[in-house]
Chains A and B, each alone.
Chain A
Amino acid sequence: MEPTENIAVQTASVDQKKVVIDIRGLRKSFGENHVLNGFNMRLYEGENLVVMGKSGSGKSVMIKCLVGLMQPDSGYIEVLGKEIKTLDRETLDVLRSDIGFLFQGSALYDSMTVRENLEFPLRRHKEKIGQTGSTESRVLEALENVGLAHTVDLMPEELSGGMKRRIALARTIILKPKIILYDEPTSGLDPITSKEIIELMRSIQKKYRTSALIITHDVDCARVVSERMILLVDGTNYAEGTYLQLSSSEDPKVEAFFKK
């Protein structure tokens, strides 16, 4: 079972690029349920990688293992040249400041205003602000990036789902991370809002030159954002390639993803 080999990696330039995330043989199970069963993945610098899979296929588990929110049962994870497992809390926090994480349900802190939400990651990473900038300017800059500067003193409950997602995105980029992990960025949103979010993701990537790992089961999102895709089936990377390659595949399991 080596489907990865069947579909050649087309983007030749990728090989010369720096690897920012390297996952090898990742395994994780919850009791009898083997969610990840030897997953391999590489994310290259400046690349948009989409990992697609059905719900419960272990995409979220994989991404959480990446930032140390979950401990894998076995496997090697290296992010920005550091092996996650070996890091102590301090270094992990420093590393995490280089990784943006957009959570599935936005995960805005309900008890805080938009401003406090955005300030929150800056509390522990003051060094990221730099000499010239201030917290306030950073907050406003991030909000302007998502076009919601006017909501700065509102509470999350006063915002719509799409706005929340955009605020969450602003919070994700406020530390100017090198990698952004998107966990289902368009889930629970209507198609128009989804499109807006996708546009935002693209513009942000252009602006800050981040690498992005996008986890989704939304084909439209994958089509627009992805430069490369990995299909996650049965806890392992079943197929890999560009959107065009995969969508034209005749493998029944791959086809199943792109059926409308």
Chain B
Amino acid sequence: MTRFVLAKSLRALVTMLIAVTLVFVFIRLSGDPAAALAPPDVGQEVIDQVREKLGLDRPLWQQYAHYVGSLAQGQFGYSIHTGRPALELFLDRLPMTLLLGGTALAIAILVGVPLGVLAALTRGSAVDRFAMAFSVFAFAMPNFFFGIVVILVGALGFGLFFGGVAGSQSLVGLIAPAATLGLAAMGAFARFARSSTLETLNKPFMIAAEARGVPWLRRLIHHAVPNAAIPLVTLIGLSLGGLIAGSVVTEQVFAWPGVGQLLVRSVETRDIAVVQFIVLVVAFTMTLANLVVDLLYLAIDPRIRVR
């Protein structure tokens, strides 16, 4: 068991290190960072000064060591445009993104999972067919298009204007973008909850429980749900990537002042320090989430501990 935890942690660490290395390589490939960071219309001496200050005149491996070292010390560089630390810009935006993402995940779980379980319990019924149609719909629906339809219907049909800081302060102003962001995950949860429940319901231990005369509801809650929940834990962990990716677009559609909007704006203005920092944060968050899912598996499914 300790070996399992150690192996998984080591793997996460290596993944993170490779991500850091790739970011370093790509930034170095892009051209001369000194010329990009120096003020415009300055002479060669100034650019050389910047280069020396950034350590860009040293061998590449020293630069790399310096880069990893400064990341480890929490120095993530400064935004070219505002002059503020990338970390600070990110932290300013983080609460709004967490609010949006958290609400989206909650909506996705609260709607998707019961829908999928219900579909499995009433297999072949109209509910089941609706749930499956919904999951296909949710997968194929681009969030930027759905968001636009939501904005359009809200504005023309109900006189509600979503988007911007003002929009984010009302409950409807939160639900509309959160439902847009959570739609894809909702469909995936419904589909997985359905297949996972169906699979569990057909397991021998369920038949055995029925034969022993265990009441229906008890069978469902004590026998079926814990077993069906195992793949769902993974799925919720894995849906994080989709939520992060989706928030980039959703925040843009709803003018939501979060990290996704900051990322897009920084890419447009080529604010490399900010972009690089957000990319590293995403890699770190998702690597950590994958690790947590692996370890949670250990807690939920005792069979893994034996191996």
Task: Answer yes or no: do A and B interact.
Answer: no
Name A residues whose Cβ lies closer than 8 Å to a Cβ of B: none
Name B residues whose Cβ lies closer than 8 Å to a Cβ of A: none
